[in-house]
Chain A
Amino acid sequence: MTPFLRVVGVGMRFGGLQALADVTFDVEKGSVVGLIGPNGSGKTTLMNVVSGVYKPTSGSVQFAGRTIADVPTYNVCKLGIARTFQIVKPFVNLSVRENVAVGAMYGREGSHRSTRASFERAQELLEVVGLARVADRQAADLTIPDRKRLEVAKALALDPEVLLLDEVMAGLNATEVDEALQLLRDVNARGVTLIVVEHLMKAIMSISTTVVVLAEGKKIAQGQPREVVASPAVVEAYLGSRFAKRQGQLEEMRRQAEEAGAASHGESA
């Protein structure tokens, strides 16, 4: 297990806003890194830096011996880094299969794939993500959960070593979340390293091998999911007040319910 993707002192400034400040962590091959933090903590900005969409104002991202900022955005996928967009970007006038085929044509393995082979690869991936039933429909007609699936399929079509997933589970119901988690585990089992941004704590805790916590653009914790949740800095910055309050309310309700139950039992007896 050698670190093969390194985020080194990354800072990103937009005018007067410091979106990221000195974020450093290593990603090991085959791991699943969960990236969490409150709204506006810089998660999507970090995804944009790692995928080469933004050039960081300080620090760098190193992958396969290269600095991502030195590689044009369209060549990042050829190094082996693929991503999904939180705000999905389907090619609305193309069919679902064509959307995925474009990735298969121009991704890491694209140069030695014919148009036809690209379409066959696209079809395989649509079966993997569960979109085979709508392969010939226009992407414009897809529901939001299906659009999220399409984003994943397009990213997988690039044959990535590292897959960045930006909130692919947002808007899914409980069953769909379980399906999505199973899909990500399958992808990871094939040797693809995952960096997952997600708001659903339960999902991220169950899939991640390492969790990195951002708050106001800074890394405030890193470690195994259980350790991170217990970390006082995280509880204070992110989970703290809300979880504490909710747990307190739950305790209160449970006690009231028990009292009421005991009272009614008493009456009926």
Chain B
Amino acid sequence: MPAASTGTLLRKVGFGGITGNRTVFFIMCGVLVAMLGIPALHNGYYENLFRGILMFSTLSMGWNIIGGYTGYVSFGNVVYFGIGAYTSAALWQHFHQLNLLLAIVVGAIIAALMALILGIPILRLKGPYFGIATLGTALATQEIISNIDWLGGGSGFPVHQIDNFSLYYYAMWGVCAVSLAATYAIGRSKFGYALVAIRENEEAAAILGVDPTRTKVQAWMISAMMAASAGAVFAAANGFIDPPTAFASDTNIFPIVMAILGGAGTAAGPLVGAFVLTAINETLWGHFPQIHTLFFGAVIVLVVLFLPRGVLWLLNVRGGWRGLVNSLGAYRV
């Protein structure tokens, strides 16, 4: 039974329950609280670096809800990050609003509505087909925004910055902490068990009374709200937003790698992954400034090869991936 051996392997590497290892979770909560002290160092480099970690953690937690818990591997969550970023930018440009909380709330609402509209048709697809469809939405959204003059078209527009720059750090910390708390609450709720049941076996979940379509759409809406919150703060801190910045492929892919690296389907996994991947990235950048991207790509491949719990998790999550790989092998591509 391949399923049995996969399950055993997953448990050996620390998966279990639906929140994941409690100790790891509480350690990461402590780390998060400690990160409140970063602005006190008055070091711009560290503040930027850690704000990046907080942003990617939040994005990764958003992805984790739909990809890790529900088992629908999305390559389109950058759409919601972009929506959040453009909400923040448009509120300043057109309404002269500098209120970050307002930007976060409005961005999250628009993103959730977008996830509802996109999710109803797309979440009927499974495995690689779902992944490809979400990638399509990411590419399409960037093109559409590039052609809307009201949103700055292809050249984008500036976002006014405030003097107390650390406010952006605290805002990003806030959205990250709320996302972590939300993930933890989901992991202890009936809703969380519905998500995991869908990931494990959608047909069996439906027989046990879980409405798959409704549950998946709700999961994606939560996922989108987390991404949009990070986007709204990012735009304000960045001071400028244009389509390539708002819909960068790094912003799309890194959170997925982080979630898998740290433990998809666990509450603290994305935070762990964001720390590890950022540390690797910074170290490589310091030592090999010219070709660090090459090394970084290689590290991602090695991680996936030699920390196979991520890949196994994905294989376990959707039989479709296994089917895809098997069929590729059969044709010797």
The yes or no verdict on A and B being binding partners is: yes
Is A56 at the interface (CB under 8 A from chain B)?
no
A44-63 vs B: 1/0 string, CB under 8 Å? 00000001010000000000
Would you give the shortest CB distance from A160 to chain B, in whole angstroms?
11
> How far is the CB of B264 from the nearest CB of chain A, in Å?
11
Contact in complex: A106, B203 (CB < 8 Å): no
Smallest CB separation, A194 vs chain B (Å): 17
Given contacts A78-B209, A102-B208, whether A94 and B196 have CB atoms under 8 Å apart is: yes
Q: Are A140 and B3 in contact (CB under 8 A)?
A: yes
Per the bound structure, the CA–CA distance linking A91 and B6 in Å amounts to 12
Alpha-carbon separation in the docked complex, A82 to B209 (Å): 10
The smallest beta-carbon distance between B156 and chain A, in angstroms, is 43
Is A101 in contact with chain B by the CB < 8 A criterion? yes
> In the complex, which residues 161-220 of chain B have their Cβ closer than 8 Å to any Cβ of chain A?
188-190, 193-194, 196-197, 200-201, 203-212
The reply to whether the CB of B14 lies closer than 8 angstroms to some CB of chain A is no
Residues of A within 8 A of B10 (CB): 93
Chain A: minimal CB distance from B146 (Å): 41
Q: Are A138 and B11 in contact (CB under 8 A)?
A: yes
Interface string of A66-91 (1 = CB under 8 A from B): 00000011111110001101000111
Stretch at the interface among B15-23, B88-96, B99-107, B276-284: B15-23
List residues of chain A with CB within 8 A of the CB of B7.
92-93, 138-141
Contacting B189 at CB < 8 Å: which of A82, A102, A115?
Answer: A115
Return chain B residues, CB-CB under 8 Å to A31.
none
- Residues of B contacting A53 with CB < 8 Å? 203, 207
Contact partners of A73 in chain B: CB under 8 A = 206-207
CB neighbours (8 Å) of B188 from chain A are: 115
Residue pair B197, A91 in contact (C-beta under 8 Å): yes
Known: A91-B196, A93-B316, A140-B8. Is A102-B210 also a contact (CB below 8 A)? yes
Question: Whole-angstrom distance between the alpha carbons of A75 and B213 in the complex?
Answer: 13
B207 touches A93 (CB 8 A): no
Asked if A74 contacts B193 (CB within 8 A), the reply is: no
Chain A: minimal CB distance from B311 (Å): 15
Determine whether the beta carbon of A92 is less than 8 Å from that of B316: yes
Chain A residues closer than 8 Å to B1, beta-carbon distance: 140
In A81-132, which residues have CB < 8 Å from any B CB? Answer: 82-83, 85, 89-95, 98, 101-103, 105-108, 110, 115, 118
Interface flag for A211 (CB, 8 Å): no
Minimal beta-carbon separation of B235 from chain A (angstroms): 38
A44, B49: Cα distance in complex, Å: 59
| Nearest-Cβ distance from residue A105 to partner chain B, whole angstroms | 5
Q: Are B209 and A115 in contact, with the CB atoms below 8 A?
A: no
Q: Does B294 contact A (CB under 8 A)?
A: no
B200 touches A103 (CB 8 A): no
Q: Are A74 and B212 in contact (CB under 8 A)?
A: yes
Asked if B34 lies at the interface with its beta carbon under 8 angstroms from chain A, I say no
Looking across the interface, which residue of chain A has its beta carbon closest to that of B317? A93
Point out the residue from B8, B193, B201, B207 that lies within 8 Å of A141, measured CB to CB.
B8
A89 to B205, CA, bound (A): 9
Contact count band on B = 20 to 34
Closest residue on chain B to residue A51 by CB atoms: B207
Q: Does B4 contact A (CB under 8 A)?
A: yes
Q: How far is A94 from B201 in the complex, measured between Cα atoms in Å?
A: 11
Query: Which residues on B sit within 8 Å (CB–CB) of A138?
Result: 7-8, 11, 16
* A77 partner residues in chain B, CB cutoff 8 A: 207-209
Say yes or no for A154: interface residue by CB 8 A criterion. yes
- Chain A contacts of B17 at CB under 8 A? 95, 98
A89 x B190 contact (CB < 8 A)? no
Shortest C-beta distance, B14 to chain A (Å), equals 12
Closest to A104 in B: B208
Using CB atoms, name the residue of chain B closest to A137.
B11
**Nearest CB in chain B: distance from A72 CB, A:** 7
Using CB atoms, name the residue of chain B closest to A77.
B209
Residue A10 lies at the interface, judged by CB distance under 8 Å to chain B = no
A254 CA to B190 CA, complexed, in Å: 62
- Give the contacts of B103-145 with A (CB-CB under 8 A): none
Q: CA–CA, A115 to B18, complex, Å?
A: 13
- Name the residue in B18, B208, B316 with the highest tally of chain A Cβ atoms < 10 Å from its Cβ: B208
Chain B residue contacts of A115, Cβ below 8 A: 188-190, 193
B194 touching A106, Cβ below 8 Å: yes
Cβ 8 A contact of A102, one of B4, B193, B203, B211? B193
Asked if B209 and A98 make an inter-chain contact with CB atoms under 8 angstroms apart, the answer reads: no
Residues from chain A with Cβ under 8 Å of B15 in the complex: 93
Chain A residues closer than 8 Å to B4, beta-carbon distance: 92, 140-141
The minimal Cβ–Cβ distance linking B119 to chain A, given in whole angstroms, is: 17
B residues near A51, Cβ cutoff 8 Å: 207
In the complex, what residues of A have CB within 8 A of residue B197's CB?
91, 94, 102
Q: Can you name 20 A-B pairs with beta carbons within 8 Å? A: A53-B203, A74-B209, A75-B209, A89-B203, A89-B204, A90-B200, A91-B197, A92-B7, A92-B200, A93-B316, A95-B17, A98-B193, A102-B194, A103-B209, A107-B209, A115-B193, A138-B16, A139-B7, A140-B7, A141-B4
- Beyond the given A93-B10, A93-B316, could you list 18 further A-B residue pairs with CB under 8 A, ordered by the A residue number? A74-B212, A82-B207, A90-B201, A90-B204, A91-B200, A91-B201, A92-B200, A92-B316, A93-B15, A93-B196, A93-B200, A105-B193, A105-B209, A106-B194, A108-B209, A110-B209, A115-B193, A141-B7
Nearest 8 A-B pairs (CB), nearest first?
A140-B7, A106-B209, A91-B200, A89-B204, A74-B206, A103-B208, A105-B190, A92-B7
